Amino acid sequence: MLTNRDKAIIKDLNKFRVMDRDSIAELHFSNLKNPGYAANNVLLRLLRDGEIQRSTAFVPYCYFGPDVHMKQNSAKIGHFLAILNVYKEMKQLGELYSFLVEPKYGKKGEGAEPDIYCYFRKTPFFIEVQRTIYSEKQMNDKLARYVDLFNSGVLADSPHVLIISDQRYAIDGEYPFKIFQAESFTQFIQSLKQVTIPAPIKVNSGGLKRVVR
């Protein structure tokens, strides 16, 4: 029989697609004397019982939820772990009300596809976690999709856009939302110590409501 903690781990594995052992220990076993040891024992039991999947292609090992279909050496693993790291940063830095991984708006390949949609300190954000360098055209196309989403009126409010990347992009033009750039979420918060984030713009909702998890 699955414990409540087992269920919480499996839920997170499905949500984040993939998690490394150390992150599972940090998020679910931090109250114990030896989180890593405790996490290993639980994960081995869940793996043995067929409740989760594991990849030994990485150290520490990575785990997948039962609803995740991903190759154990997929190039996407690094991307999803980067998203997970942003989540861990946000949990430590402030009030995190919602965190959705890769929500889709519109048809695949046509609408906005942020890596993260979240409410942090009562402020909505779309976050792009860029591990590869985009061309100017790729970045302009991505931002244009956010403009289309804003203009569609389906959002209850307009999230700011945060680009997390080692690359600084030259973004020109005016947008109906604020665009931030930083190398990490922690750096972004530090850069705002002397700056107040503008309040999100309210737009007419077409029925889509904010989902809080």
Class of CATH domain 4-74: mainly alpha
- Average pLDDT of the residues in 126-134: 90
d(CA 18, CA 25): 14
Q: How many CB atoms lie within 10 A of CB 55?
A: 17
CA-CA distance, 191 to 8, in Å (whole number)?
Answer: 33
Q: Cα dist. 115→100, 155, 192 in Å?
A: 8, 17, 22
Q: What is the pLDDT of residues 68-84, one digit of tens each?
A: 988 888 889 999 999 99
Considering the chain, tell me which residue range(s) the CATH 3.40.1350 domain(s) occupy. Answer: 78-191
Query: Radius of gyration of the chain from Cα atoms?
Result: 18
pTM of this structure: 0.86
28-58 confidence digits (pLDDT tens): 999 999 999 999 999 999 999 999 999 998 8
What is the pLDDT at residue 198? 57
Range list for CATH 1.10.10 in the chain: 4-74
Q: What percent of the chain has pLDDT over 70?
A: 90
What CATH number belongs to 78-191?
3.40.1350
